[in-house]
Structure 1
């Protein structure tokens, strides 16, 4: 994202980063970083003081928690004021609301908002049957990630849930982008990426199905069947279950070697 004068540029899809007028404004204190990250993730929405307290201290807040939160907010505003060269502007960006605080969405940019925009556009392209646009848009969304979300911010219960939700969305977007690439017959180019994804997510049946599809299309039916055997063993050992219907149908289609019996994601 290009930095705009007068806006704070937040990057949350990776290490926490925030800049105003080309100056970093991320505090070094862990609790302030937690508060800033939670507020930035919810830009445009009020974050209740009680939510901030739960994030920072869990079930054991200090007696002076209200005053301490106010102090953290004042310190964040002071850092912003230095970068803005204006004592009043930080109150516009980081406003006090009834029982909480809110970052003005018009005065900041976040990579999470851009990620969501590209994902929505990619999903519309998929619904319109345009795999090339789907791959490009979803690939652009995934390129915004610089590592695990907020990897350098200590996470309480609230942030941990937010980060888990972001990661789950990222994996779903990645799966859909790969499906679009398979529809574009890019199966050979996907083998390395899919092999790595399956190694990192050994119980993810969808990634295994995509790897089996790419292997089969690349002329490696034996390796595709071996990929099925691996995930079947993992699921049995770890969860005591058999692979789901998608993997079972794909396995049978590969065994049959009959294009007419292949599932849609394999035959397309």
Structure 2
């Protein structure tokens, strides 16, 4: 039977079709329930998770009973469709699941086709399989079913997977010489996501191979302007190198001849060109860091570092060390981060690179704050701030104002902390940087919560959450969700706090950031009692102790040692 006429379709409006017959799903929550269960086939989804997704703002009274009613109706729909032997709703004491062949769900069929394509060594086969995968999409994932926070939770990963597969299909098509065939698709995708550098680079290459050199260069300029306006960034080395190759009419960019692919794939360094390879890896490290893919970012920076060490390039070696130290610091690996950043700072100083030295000092100050050495942190951060002001780097100045405010907040100096956070927000706003302003608002909201000014905390957090979700900033989203959890606790809303903190934990687990998981567990423990709270605090204390973070001395008002891990301390979450 044709898979298109049989199964569950989530890549667009949610649909249930069995034996060629569409099954009506008139209620949005019915469609959403089917979507949630179908995304995790043959697995139990806890009831509390279903409640969070079906009613993101606040579950109604009797929410569990309403879930039971929705499940009962879904069983009836499957039965009337004649799917009873192939699809059934399972129930346990803790939740519900959907027994079904994963390939009867278009989202899983999409993933299977993509994996088959990646395993193929033949570009014709690869392109055909990827085209089949893309053809499964009929619109936004879970359209007219998932909205708001539920959409962010369920659909962001699916939409990103579609973009990656689209890029892979276009790359295969370009290797096959089909640059004109993909131009209209590329133009539409770039219009929808104008700062996605890989898409812009593919558009530039397709335009160049089509003889439209001026348009290829215009595409780069539009990217450069948009990155500067929206994010305060420059294009990465990969796309900048492609622009240079286009200006030079590099023969390596020529389309493949009848005998096979071009001599090199687009945007890869030339064989034996360690400088070029290192520059590409630097750009990759920066891009993966912006995507919150910390392990991949660290690996790219480490490889770039090896390239620059081999050719004795001190300036780019310092940049790779600074990037590597920054990633390690954000991921909670403080000792190796400090080693890399100190070496970077020394190199930048010898090179007379004020901006590089200021960034290294900023990150070293960040490490001192994370370890609880506030005096050293303020000294380093003040040094970096003075340098950024001297070279008129407004974005660097804004970042430093926010970071200095965090130190003051940790010391209970709320007036000074608020002044610094407001200064940061003014600078970000002056740059048109809504993303940075969202981080400044989060810092200010924490101060309002500490002072008991709860109504002042809410608006900035909501705005910041929307901005981070729109830009795909998972770290920022997790940070703000955690702060919303703290606000809900202060508002005596344990249900709302639990939802926000659980969602934050999911972000930290996805990003593999145990230190931030621990910080969220200490807040979540305030909502728990007995063994559940103790278990959360023991896990958090173990992570704090391993990382050497300041919180290791802030559980139960005394330093945490290995012996404490079996105890029952009371959390005081400081971050």
TM-score band (shorter)?
0.7 to 0.9
Structure with greater strand percent: 1
Task: Answer yes or no: is the 8 Å Cα contact 2:9–2:106 preserved in 1.
Answer: yes
Aligned residues of 1:10 and 1:40 also touching (Cα < 8 A)? yes
- What is the CA-CA distance between 1:90 and the residue it aligns to? 8.2
Q: Is the 8 A contact 1:16 1:151 kept in 2?
A: yes
Partners of 1:156 and 1:58 in 2: CA distance: 8
Cα displacement (A) at 1:4: 10
Q: What TM-score does the superposition give when structure 1 sets the normalisation length? A: 0.87
Rounded Cα–Cα distance in structure 2 between residues aligned with 1:144 and 1:191: 21
Which residue is equivalent to 1:17?
Answer: 15
**Please, which moves more after superposition, 164-173 or 41-50?**
41-50
1:80 aligned onto 2:72: no
Choose the corresponding residue for 1:201, options 167, 188, 193: 193
Which residue does the alignment assign to 1:232?
A: 224
Q: In structure 2, what is the Cα distance between the partners aligned to 1:147 and 1:107?
A: 20
Question: Could you say which residue in structure 2 is the equivalent of 1:265?
Answer: 265
CA drift at 1:108: 7.6
In structure 2, the gaps of 5 or more residues are 255-262, 269-575
| Residue 80 to residue 192, structure 1, CA distance change in 2 (3 Å) | closer
SS of structure 2 residue aligned to 1:84 = coil
Cα pair 2:18 2:81 within 8 Å, conserved: yes
* Contact in 2 for aligned 1:55/1:156 (Cα 8 Å): no
Aligned residue pair count: 260
> C-alpha separation between the residues in 1 aligned to 2:95 and 2:61?
18
| Corresponding residue number in structure 1 for 2:40 | 42
Does residue 169 of structure 1 match 2:161? Answer: yes
SS at match of 2:91: strand
Q: Deviations over 1:15-71 (max 9, x none)?
A: 111023444334312222211111112112111111100111225222312222111
Equivalent in the alignment of 1:138: 130
What does residue 58 of structure 1 align with?
56
Alignment partner of 1:121 is 2:116: yes
Query: Which residue in 2 is equivalent to 1:110?
Result: 105
| Residue 183 (structure 1) aligned with residue 175 (structure 2) | yes
Distance 2:27 2:102 in 1: 24
Q: C-alpha displacement at 1:77, in angstroms?
A: 1.5
TM-score by length of 2: 0.42
CA offset digits 1:89-111 (Å, max 9, x no partner): 48971011230111112498111
Question: What SS does the corresponding residue of 1:219 show, helix, strand or coil?
Answer: coil
Shift in CA distance, 39/219, structure 1 to aligned 2, threshold 3 Å:
same
Where relative contact order (Cα < 8 A, 6+ residues apart) is larger, the structure is 1
Root mean square deviation, CA, Å: 2.7
239-248 or 105-114: bigger deviation = 105-114
Structure 1 spans left out of the alignment, 5+ residues: none
Structure 1 runs (4+) greater than 4 angstroms displaced: 260-263
Task: Name which one, 1 or 2, has greater alpha-carbon Rg.
Answer: 2
Secondary structure in 2 matching 1:102: strand
Say if 1:105 and 1:219 are closer, same or farther in 2 by CA, change over 3 A: same
